[in-house]
Structures are given as C-alpha cells and as structure tokens.
Chains A and B, each alone.
Chain A
C-alpha cells in the first residue's frame, strides 16, 4: 500500500548555515499516530515543514532526498495542492489566525479548495458543529482563549479533510485542559482515517502515549556543565497584602495574600487566564495594583524575565545586548551571567540568529545583570524546551535560590514544577486556590497535581 506521506533521506541546507538539517526518513499510512521528538535545535520544525511541503516552496536553500505525498514529490507539486492533503498546526495559535470571524476562519481554507458554495456550506456547518464553534461563529478569533484559538485552527484545517495532519508543538502553549480538548478532536479525526504526526517534546496523556509510534531525531547530547558561583544575597522576605488588579472592567486578581522568602523556588500554577502573568508583573513592579507589596530588603528587587525575548533584542551581539544600559557592570558579574545562561559560545553572535531557547536564556542573562536584583519572575521558561533544557532551567533556578534569590516561575509544566520547586501557588479565577509545599505535586494521584493547571 502506497504510504500517504513518505520521506526518504530528506535534508535541507539553509543558506549561510554550516550543516544541513537531516537526513530524515519516515513512512506514514492512514490512521497512524507518529510521535517525533528530539532535543531543541535538532530540526523537528524543519522536518515538519519538509513533510508539509512548506520547504522548499517557501524557503531558500538546498533540498535533497525526497518527500512524497500520495506518490507525488513535494518539490514538483504546487504547495496549494499539497496543502489539500497535508495540514500543519503550529505552536502559536494566535499567529495562525487569518480572518475577522470564526466562520470566515473556517471558510478561508474551504474557499481555496475550489469546491462549490453548497459544498462549502455543508462542510462549514459540519465543522462548526463537530468542533463546538457554532456559538462563537461571529466572534473575532483574537478574542478567544488560546485553547479555543488552537481548536479553531485545527477546525479550519480539518474542514479541508487532509489525509495527514502535522502538529508542530501544537500543544506546548496550551494548558492541560485545552491540550486534552485538542487531543480528543484529533483522536476523532484519526478514527476517521487521518494520520497524525506529532512533533512534540511530550504528548498529552489521554491515550496518546500508548498509541504513538515513536521516532527520535537524535543529536549528540549537551554535556551537563557546572554552574558558576553566584553572589549571595542576604535573607529577605516579600509580603503581599490584599493585592488586586483590574484590567479594563475585569478584576484579574483579587485578595492575594502571600509571604515569600528569598532562597525559594515557587511555582505559579493555574489555567490560562487565571492571572499568573498579571501577578508576576505586579510583583515585578510593571503592573498597577491595589493593595500592598512589601519587600523587607528595601525597595523593589524582583525582576521579570519576559516571555518573548524578541521584545527586547536590538543590539548587534549578545555581549552588547547584555551590557546595554549596564555600563557599570563588573566583568565578573557579566562573565557569570554569560556562563549561567550557557551563552558563552555565542558571546559575539547576533542575538537575532539565536534559537528561541537561546533567546530566552539571553533574556535571563539581561535580567541577571540588573543591579540590586534579589529575585526573578519567570514566565513559562520551559515552553517549547526539550528535556535537557528544562533540566538546565531547573538547575539554574535552584542555583540562584541557593544564593538567596527568590525565583517565581509561572508554568503549565507540572512535572517540572514537581521536580524543581519548593512550593507552589495555584491560582483560580484570579484568587489563590492553594499554596502548598511542592511535595504535594509529586504524588501521581494527588488531587493537587490533578488540579494544578485547572
């Protein structure tokens, strides 16, 4: 039986890069579930794009080997034809929205199929109902939650009835509930014969892990390096009383009372929209609030490591980026920050050419060189990271905590939080629903663990 999708020694050489990505081989038949994983930077996204036909049609470079969709080579087939058979769902739902309403979003792909209007209407109705989008058909997709947006993107692709759907870290930005919802819809499509290729570090839990055929895109593992000595800070406490934040007409945070101490790693858990990022911003002094935040070391010494480092990067080299605005920084602190963030090999590299994970570490290095810093707020630092880099982030926060820093980490990654954090705070609808020792997360059946991101 001819595979729906087949890659034979497929490789791609980006212009200006030293090495090609690949070669990769894979064979996919209807209804199969493939789990392709590998360390960050090993070429998962490149391989996903080769299979979807985006490479070489949208990218300059040298393509070698072959990828065939239904027996037709992707290099010889127009992309608009390939996309009718292979769909691609990316990581960031908001970046994949193309239309002004939910209905038009689904119609976008249907219009490009060239089917009759009656057929478009039939598929539109079926898709809106199957994916639970009927009630929000006239809404602006940008007003939906992240999980709803990803469901909409999947629906838009599924309406075209592709034979294969590729998921390029499609779950990584979703909370547990949203990921489970998407996984259920994908399982339904799989039962109808669609093959699924999941390029993910971890799969959702509801039956996926047992069914998937695993593939590992190997790369020589990074040696675990020792972390540099970090300057100790004196013991200190952060007291929060009656904190509340209102954004527009919405009360995002309410009745937040906390006492946190330096030398601790604290996980901030909760579903998307629970208020995690808002709380971090308020504690870092970037968000107006009602109530009181008292730092007994005097002044404000918590810094926020921004989730999107591209909002800060503008210098020609990593070195200049870290040193910008920190003219008085001493060489030791700079060197330690560079080592701690693992960016020493990239000191003179343009920051824009770093990978996403490396950029996040650059954002961390920029923060660590801030004068007077005693604590960090990290917003989803493990997002899209492989196990090796997740472990490194864990080691870094524990290392800083050992030096007396308070590390607050907003995360959906309960497993990571269970391994690396001392305590956790669970937010629900803007209020603290639980504040406990992290040992509660380490029991597989514990209620706290089950509800940690709900």
Chain B
C-alpha cells in the first residue's frame, strides 16, 4: 500500500506554497514539464530555479523521495546513454527525466483534493465534475475498507485472496473464479455507494442552477509575481536555447 494509506494526500502543511492559489501551482507544474524539452544550458538554469523553489517551499524531501523510487530506471538510463552516446547526453536525458518526474510535486504535495476541486471550478469545470472528483477522492478510504471486508468475508468461505501458485504459467481457471469472487462484491458495493451519494446529494439540492460557491479562489499579488517570474524564466530559456 502507498505510504499513509489511501485516506489523505501527503500534503506538506508548512510549505509557503499552501498559501498559493492552486491554479498558480498548476501553471508552475506545466511550465516545469514543458521546460523538460530544453537543451542542457537552459535546462540546467530552469532545474536550478526549480530545485531552489522546492527547497524554499519545504517540498524538497517529497521530491527526493519521488526521484528515489525511480532510481533504478535513472541509473540504467544514465549508464546506457553515457556508454552509447556521451556523458553530456546522459546528463541531459537524466536531468530532463528528473524534472519531468518531479514537476507535479508542486501540486500534489501542497494542495488538497478539495483545493484542486475549487481550482477546477474556477477554471470552468462544471460543479458536477468537480464534485465527482471530490467524491472519487473521498471514496478511496471507503473502498479500501470495503476491500478488506470483502477479503475477510470471502476468506471466511475458504476463498483465499492470493493463490499459492507464484508463476504465471501455473494460474488456472479457479484463480479467475477467485478474482471474480473478490471483484464482483467490490463492484456491487461501489455502485451502492455511488447511488447513496447521488441520493444524498440530490436531497440537498445538488444541481441547483442557483448554486453559489461559499469559497472563491482569487489570485493574490504573490501569485501574479510567481506567474510573471515563471513566464520570464521560461521565455528567456526558450529564446536562449
């Protein structure tokens, strides 16, 4: 299971990015991802600024953890590029991959799903879709608990959660039946849950054309400053490439 289970995002509460509008962070992540296509000198400049932002925003640790998980892939790629092309090329590709891998940490480590939902609405996403996303996230913990309940209930009937066989060629039709015994209750429970949410939402006036959001996101001077700085850096990098 991912760390922290599936109930809460791994949000760094102390980061100054918590005060930044989620739309600004989305723009920063998009810009960082786009910069991954730059040549080495410009790329290094952008990467240095990005790392600086991560450090100042106190999200360097989750970014490092994210990169660490892909370390084998980074190592193999670097070696192959160095051996078959050149060291400079290896550095370029690895740096691009590192930037691409860590670009979205700005969003996911400093934004709650609810804040992302608000940003989506502000960007024009229909409230129904935004609510659906929030429901998806809110259902993670429930689905995990239901899943454990299903495993336990079926184990009580003698249906094991994992086959004794460990090689793919040993898998049998009985294993498909086992999977069906676990998947079908999960589907039924997921559907019942979705229906219960639909009724509860309808009972509280969901889809009212008169709906007015309580919270409204507004870009503040710090957001404008960050966006301007990003545009300047990216623009300069692309011009100088």
Contacts and interface: CB of A to CB of B under 8 A. Distances in A.
B136 to A, nearest CB: 12
A83 B208 CA distance: 10
B180 A311 contact: no
Interface in A101-128: 104, 107-117, 120
A113 B181 CA distance: 44
B114 A104 contact: yes
A311 B204 contact: no
B205 A83 contact: yes
Contacts of A366: 157
Interface stretch (A31-39, A50-58, A232-240, A405-413): A50-58
A314 B208 contact: no
Interface stretch (A85-93, A213-221, A396-404, A417-425): A85-93
A83 B202 contact: yes
Interface in B180-211: 180-181, 184-185, 188-189, 192-193, 196-211
A325 B157 contact: yes
A117 B204 contact: no
A107 B205 contact: no
A9 interface: no
A144 interface: no
Interface string B126-148: 00000100110010011000100
Interface in A277-313: 284, 286, 303-304, 306, 308, 310-313
Contact of B196 (A95, A99, A100, A108): A95
Contacts of B209: 80
Interface string A71-82: 000000001110
B130 to A, nearest CB: 12
A29 interface: no
A324 interface: yes
B112 interface: yes
B27 interface: no
A114 B210 CA distance: 5
B124 interface: no
Nearest to B146: A311
Contact of A308 (B149, B157, B184, B207): B149
Contacts of A284: 156
A157 interface: yes
Contacts of A306: 149, 153, 156
Interface of B is mostly: helix
A157 B204 contact: yes
A109 B212 CA distance: 10
B206 A95 contact: no
Contact of A80 (B135, B138, B197, B205): B205
A22 interface: no
B154 interface: yes
A58 B199 contact: yes
A54 B202 CA distance: 8
B122 to A, nearest CB: 15
A193 B159 CA distance: 54
Contact of A84 (B152, B197, B205, B211): B205
B22 interface: no
B39 to A, nearest CB: 43
A113 B205 CA distance: 7
B202 to A, nearest CB: 6
A142 B140 CA distance: 12
B123 interface: no
A378 to B, nearest CB: 13
A117 B203 contact: no
Given A117-B214, A286-B152, A311-B150, A108 B185 contact: no
A100 B112 contact: yes
Contacts of A319: none
Contacts of A156: 204
A98 interface: yes
B214 A109 contact: no
Contacts of A94: 142
B217 to A, nearest CB: 14
Q: Which of B138, B156, B192, B212 has the most CB of A within 10 A?
A: B156
24 contacts: A57-B202, A58-B199, A92-B196, A96-B200, A97-B200, A99-B134, A100-B113, A100-B114, A111-B213, A112-B206, A112-B207, A113-B208, A120-B214, A156-B204, A157-B204, A306-B156, A308-B149, A311-B146, A313-B188, A314-B184, A314-B185, A324-B181, A325-B157, A325-B158
Given A80-B209, A310-B192, A325-B159, 5 more contacts: A79-B207, A97-B200, A112-B208, A114-B210, A142-B142
